[in-house]
Structure 1
Amino acid sequence: MAVVESLLQVASTGALLSALLLLLVWYLVSPESRYQKKGKKPPGPKPLPLLGNLLIIDLTRPFDTYFKLSKTYGNVFQVFLGPRKTVVLVGYKTVKEALVNYAEAFGDREIGPGFRTKNDEHGILFSNGENWKEMRRFALSNLRDFGMGKRGSEEKIIEEIHYVKGEFDKFEGKPFDTTQPVNYAVSNIISSIVYGSRFEYTDPRFTEMVDRANENLRLRGSISLLLYNIFPWLGPFLKNSKVVVNNIIQRRTQITKLINALLETLNPHDPRGFVDSFLIRKLSDEESGKKHSYFHEKNLTMTVGNLFVAGTDTTGTTLRWGLMLMAKYPQIQDRVQEEIDRVIGGRQPVVEDRKKLPYTDAVIHEIQRLANVVPLSLPHKTSCDVTFNGYFIKKGTTVIPLLTSVLKDESEWEKPNSFYPEHFLDEKGQFIKRDAFMPFSAGRRVCLGESLARMELFLFFTSLLQSYRFTTPPGVSENELDLIGIVGITLNPSPHKLCAIRRS
C-alpha cells in the first residue's frame, strides 16, 4: 500500500487513471505470450496490472526482497517492476556463469530514465555498443599510464594520507562524522589521476563537486527515483528528480570549466592526467578530419564524471564501513594493530607490506564482503535472446546480478551474515583468496578501477589503524553501531560518529 500511496501523492487522479488504462491494455496484449513459445520463462510471482510485483517488494531494500524470493523461485527468477520484466540472478555460481561464461549476452547496461537524464548514453557507466567499448578501452589504457594500481598511485595515496590525518587530528579525539574527510581524501586520488592535481579540502569547487555527487547517489537510490525509473511520466511531480537533474547540470558546468582551464595550458608532449590525454586525442582526430570520432566534449565530460563518482563513492564508503567495524569489534582492531606494529612499526605502510600482513588483508576483504556496498550491482540488459539455465530470456530484458547474494552465499561462506575475517585465512593463518569474493562484479562490466581501489583500501586502512584507535563516542555502546546501512545506489553506513584517538 505504501507504493500506491506514493503514486497517488505525486500524480493527479486523471494522469494516474489514464496511465492505468494504457498499461492495462498493454498487460492484456503483452508480447510475453508470443515470444515465450521459444522456451520456458523464468519463474516468479504473478504480477498485477500496472503495478507488477511492486506491492511485495520492499523498495527501501529491494535486494533483501529478491534474496527472499529466490528461496521460493530459485536462482533465476523474474519480477515485474511495474510493467517492466526484470530477471534476477542469485548466488555465486549463477552470477558468475552469467557475467563470465555468458559475458556477451549479459554484458549490456540497462539505462533507465533516471540514468539517461542529461546523459545521452555517453561516457562509460551508462553507455553501450561501440561508444562504451571505445571509452572503456581508452580509460583503461590511460589510467594505467597515469599510475592506476602502480607506483605512481601509491605515492599519490601516501601523500593524501598525510592530509586526511591532519583532518582527523583537528577533532583531537572527540566524536566526528568520518564521511567528508574520507570522501575528500579518496576523491583527491582520482582527481590527481584525472586532472593531474589534487584539491585542497577547503576549495569550494572540490567540496561542492564531492558533496553533489554523493547526494545524487543517495537520491538515485530513493523510492521516488525508483518509481521514476518504472513510471517515467512521474518525473514532473518528483522533487528528487529535479534535484538530480540540477546537480547533473551543475556538475557538467563545473567539469567543463576545469577542462577548459587545462586546455589553456595543454602541452601535447607532456600530459598531466587523463583529461589531457583525451584532449590530445580529440585535437588529433579533429586535425586529421576523422569522421564519427568518439573523442568529443560530451564523452569527455561524461567519462570524467563517471570516473570521479565511481572512483570516490564505493572506495570511500567501504573505508568508512571499515573504520566503523573496527570501533564495533575492538578485539579485531586489537589484532590488526598488533600485526601492523609487529611487522611495520612506525614507518609508512606500503603496498609491498600486504603479503606480510595476512590478518589485516583478511580483515579488509571481510569489510568489503560484509559491507556489501553495491548490493544490486548496476542493472544489466541482455544484448540478444539467450537461453540460460534452461530459461529463455529475450533480448533487451533488464537483468539484476544480485551481488549481495554472492557475497553472502550460504554455500560459499561459513558465516555469511557475520564479520568473520577467518573467511580469508587458512588453518595456518595465511591469507587465501575466495572465488566468491566479487565486490567489483565480474565480466565485461567489472569495475575498471579495481586495482586502484584495492591499493587505496589497503594503504588508507593500514595507515589510519597504525596511527589511531577508533572507538565509539563516550556513552555509546559498540552494539549501537548497526550493520543495516542506508540505501542509495550504494549501501552506506547508518549515520554515526567515531573518536579517532592518536596512538602513542
Structure 2
Amino acid sequence: MLLLLLLVLLLAGTRLLWAQWKLRTLNLPPLAPGFLHLLQPNLPIHLLRLSRKMGPIYRLHYGLRNVVVLNSKQSIEEAMLRKWVDFAGRPQMQSSKLVCQSYPDLSLGDYSVLWKAHKKLTRSALLLGARNSMELWVQQLTQEFCQRLRAQAGAPVDIHREFLLLTCGIICGLTFGNKSDTLVRSICSCVQDLMNAWNHWSIQILDMVPFLRFLPNPGIQRLKQMVEVRDLIVGQQLRQHKDSLVAGQWRDLLDYMLQGVEQPGKEQGSEQLQEGHVHMSVVDLFIGGTETTATTLSWAVAFLLHHPEIQRRLQEELDLELGPDSFTSRLLYKDRKQLPLLNATIAEVLRLRPVVPLALPHRTIRPSRIAGYDIPRDTVIIPNIQGANLDETLWERPHEFWPDRFLPLGKSPHELSFGCGARVCLGESLARLELFVVLTHLLQAFTLLPLEGALPSLQPQPYSGINLLVQPFQVRLQPRGLGAPCRGQCQ
C-alpha cells in the first residue's frame, strides 16, 4: 500500500510538472503562495482578502491542480457573459460523480448539445409548465404557513426549519402536484441528509486529492445511501406520473418534462433526452430550490432582528400600500415595484449573503483570455460571487446592511447572487418570487422579535461546502393585530 501511494504521488507530481512546463510561454494570472487556502473557515472572504494583494484574478493550488479565482464583478461578467461559450464547462469532480451516479445532471453536467437540450426542457417547464400556477401556489402555501405560525405566537420558533418545510412544500406542489405533509417532510429530510453528506470533509477532499477514493471512506458509503434514498423517492413519483399521464395535458412540472422527452428510437444513432434527464431535473429543483431559498429567508430575518428600524419601515410601507387592517390583501409579483424598500431589502440580503457564494466551479472548454491573462483550456474557474458583491471599488460601505443603497430601484449595480450567463440559476425567477411573497406575508402578519434579547449571529457557519449557512437561531413572532401599531419592542 505504501509503495502504491508513493507511486501515485510520483506520477501526480510528474504530471503537474509537465503541465506547468507546457504553460511556460503563457501570460497566466499570478499564483498565490501556499497550499491550504481552501481549508479556510470563511473561504469567500479569505479569497477576497487575497485579491487585495494578488489582484482580482489569480491562481490557487487546489490539490494537484491550479484553479483560477475571479473576485470582481467585472471579471466574472467578462467570463460568464461576454465569453460565456469559453467558460460554460463543468469540471468532472469526484464529489459530483458520486452525487450524479448514473444519471446525467443539469447543474453539474458538462457543456454539450445534449446539456443544452436538458437545460431548455427544464427552463421551459419553469416558464411555461407552471406559468399559470406558480404564483398562486406560492401565495396559497405561504398563507397557510403564516396561519401555522400564528399558533406558535410568542413561543421560540426555529424559523429556518419552518422555511425549509415551506420551500419544500412549494417545490413538491409545483413538481409533483402533491403537498402532503408526509411527502414534504420525507423530501425535506432527504435533501438535508444528502447535503450534509455531500458537504462533509471526507467527500470534499476527494476533489483535491482524487486518488483518496480508493482508500476506505465511510463518508462515501453514507453519500451513496443518501443518493439511493433520493432516487427512490423521485423514481416513485416518476412511475406514478407516467401511469396517469394524459397526452397533451400537464398537471405539474413533472408531467410537462415527461411529455417533453423524446421517445427512444425516433432518431437512431443520435443522443436524445431520456427519462434520466427528467429525474435529475427534479433532483436539481429540490437541491437548488429548498435549502437555498430557506437560507436566504433566514438571513433576511436575522438582519431584520438586528435592524428593527428597517423592519418598522417595511411594515409601514406594507400598511400604506395594502392597508393596515387588510392582512389578507395581496400584491401581485408583477406589481412588486410598489414596495421599493422590500425589493431593496431583498437585494441587500442577496448581496451580503449569496447562498452559493462561490457558485459552482466552471471549466474552460477552449483557450480564452480575461483582463489580458491567458486562460488555458480545461482550467477550473471559481467565481467568487460574495467577493464581487463586497467589492469596495463598486459598493459604498460594502460590509454594511444598508438596503437604501438600492433606492431608488436601479440606483446600484445588480448583485450576482444567482450567477450569470449560460450557467445562471434556472430557479432564479421562482426564488425571487418566493422571497417577495414570503417576506410580504410574514411582515404583514408578525413583528419579528429576538429571543429574550439574544440577537442571532450574522457570521455564517464555517464554510465547508456549497452553501453559506446561517448559524442556528430562534425568533419570537408577535402577531400584528388588526389596526394595531408596531409596539415598543420593534423600536
- TM-score greater than 0.5 by the shorter chain: yes
Instruction: Establish whether residue 30 from structure 1 lines up as the match of residue 18 from structure 2.
Output: yes
| Residue number among 345, 357, 378 corresponding to 1:396 in the alignment | 378
| Residue number among 304, 309, 319 corresponding to 2:282 in the alignment | 304
- Within 5 Å, give how 1:41-80 maps onto structure 2: 41-46=28-33, 53-80=34-61
| Residue number among 425, 432, 438 corresponding to 1:460 in the alignment | 438
Residue-by-residue CA offset, 1:197-218 (whole Å, 9 max, x unaligned): 13233x0x33222222123334
| Residue number among 230, 233, 239 corresponding to 1:254 in the alignment | 233
CA separation of 1:465 and 1:238: change in aligned 2, threshold 3 A: farther
Q: Secondary structure at the match of 1:372?
A: coil
Instruction: Establish whether residue 101 from structure 1 lines up as the match of residue 89 from structure 2.
Output: no
1:278–1:295 contact (8 Å) kept in structure 2: no
- Report the AA paired with residue 9 of structure 2: L
- Structure 1 residue 192: Cα displacement: 2.3
- The 2-side partners of 1:414 and 1:391 are apart by 28
| Residue number among 323, 326, 348 corresponding to 1:366 in the alignment | 348
User: What is the match of residue 458 of structure 2?
Assistant: 482
| Residue number among 206, 211, 214 corresponding to 1:228 in the alignment | 206
Residue-by-residue CA offset, 1:382-401 (whole Å, 9 max, x unaligned): 01011222222111110001
User: What is the match of residue 132 of structure 1?
Assistant: 115
- The 2-side partners of 1:13 and 1:65 are apart by 35
- The 2-side partners of 1:155 and 1:264 are apart by 27
TM-score, length-normalised on structure 2? 0.91
After alignment, is 489-498 or 218-227 more displaced?
218-227
- The 2-side partners of 1:421 and 1:303 are apart by 34
CA separation of 1:44 and 1:298: change in aligned 2, threshold 3 A: same
Structure 2 runs not aligned, ≥5 long: 482-491
- The 2-side partners of 1:276 and 1:352 are apart by 26
1:375–1:404 contact (8 Å) kept in structure 2: yes
CA separation of 1:183 and 1:140: change in aligned 2, threshold 3 A: same
User: What is the match of residue 4 of structure 1?
Assistant: none
Instruction: Establish whether residue 266 from structure 1 lines up as the match of residue 266 from structure 2.
Output: no
Q: Secondary structure at the match of 1:80?
A: strand
CA separation of 1:294 and 1:312: change in aligned 2, threshold 3 A: farther
CA separation of 1:459 and 1:290: change in aligned 2, threshold 3 A: farther
- The 1-side partners of 2:335 and 2:67 are apart by 44
CA separation of 1:60 and 1:221: change in aligned 2, threshold 3 A: farther
Residue-by-residue CA offset, 1:155-213 (whole Å, 9 max, x unaligned): 01111112211332232321121122211211222222222x13233x0x332222221
- Report the AA paired with residue 319 of structure 2: D
- Structure 1 residue 106: Cα displacement: 1.0
- Structure 1 residue 297: Cα displacement: 2.5
1:471–1:498 contact (8 Å) kept in structure 2: yes
1:374–1:489 contact (8 Å) kept in structure 2: yes
- Report the AA paired with residue 25 of structure 1: T
CA separation of 1:299 and 1:391: change in aligned 2, threshold 3 A: same
- The 2-side partners of 1:281 and 1:92 are apart by 36
- Structure 1 residue 353: Cα displacement: 4.1
Residue-by-residue CA offset, 1:312-334 (whole Å, 9 max, x unaligned): 22212111111122122111111
RMSD: 2.1
CA separation of 1:287 and 1:111: change in aligned 2, threshold 3 A: closer
User: What is the match of residue 198 of structure 1?
Assistant: 178
User: What is the match of residue 334 of structure 1?
Assistant: 312
User: What is the match of residue 143 of structure 1?
Assistant: 126
2:343–2:436 contact (8 Å) kept in structure 1: yes
1:268–1:280 contact (8 Å) kept in structure 2: yes
- The 2-side partners of 1:81 and 1:388 are apart by 20
User: What is the match of residue 318 of structure 1?
Assistant: 296
1:123–1:300 contact (8 Å) kept in structure 2: no
2:142–2:438 contact (8 Å) kept in structure 1: yes
- The 2-side partners of 1:162 and 1:216 are apart by 29
- Report the AA paired with residue 20 of structure 2: E
| Residue number among 56, 67, 71 corresponding to 1:86 in the alignment | 67
Instruction: Establish whether residue 420 from structure 1 lines up as the match of residue 390 from structure 2.
Output: no
CA separation of 1:313 and 1:43: change in aligned 2, threshold 3 A: same
- Report the AA paired with residue 23 of structure 1: A
- The 2-side partners of 1:297 and 1:231 are apart by 33
Instruction: Establish whether residue 294 from structure 1 lines up as the match of residue 272 from structure 2.
Output: yes
Structure 1 runs not aligned, ≥5 long: 1-11, 47-52
- Report the AA paired with residue 49 of structure 2: K
- Report the AA paired with residue 286 of structure 2: F
Q: Secondary structure at the match of 2:342?
A: helix
1:220–1:489 contact (8 Å) kept in structure 2: no
- Structure 1 residue 250: Cα displacement: 1.0
CA separation of 1:123 and 1:25: change in aligned 2, threshold 3 A: closer
CA separation of 1:295 and 1:360: change in aligned 2, threshold 3 A: same
User: What is the match of residue 177 of structure 1?
Assistant: 158
> Number of aligned pairs?
473
Instruction: Establish whether residue 408 from structure 1 lines up as the match of residue 394 from structure 2.
Output: no
- Structure 1 residue 486: Cα displacement: 4.7
2:78–2:370 contact (8 Å) kept in structure 1: no
Residue-by-residue CA offset, 1:203-251 (whole Å, 9 max, x unaligned): 0x33222222123334433433221111123234333332222111110
User: What is the match of residue 117 of structure 1?
Assistant: 98
- Structure 1 residue 452: Cα displacement: 1.4
Q: Secondary structure at the match of 1:136?
A: helix
Residue-by-residue CA offset, 1:8-57 (whole Å, 9 max, x unaligned): xxxx8666545433333334x422212332x21110124xxxxxx43344
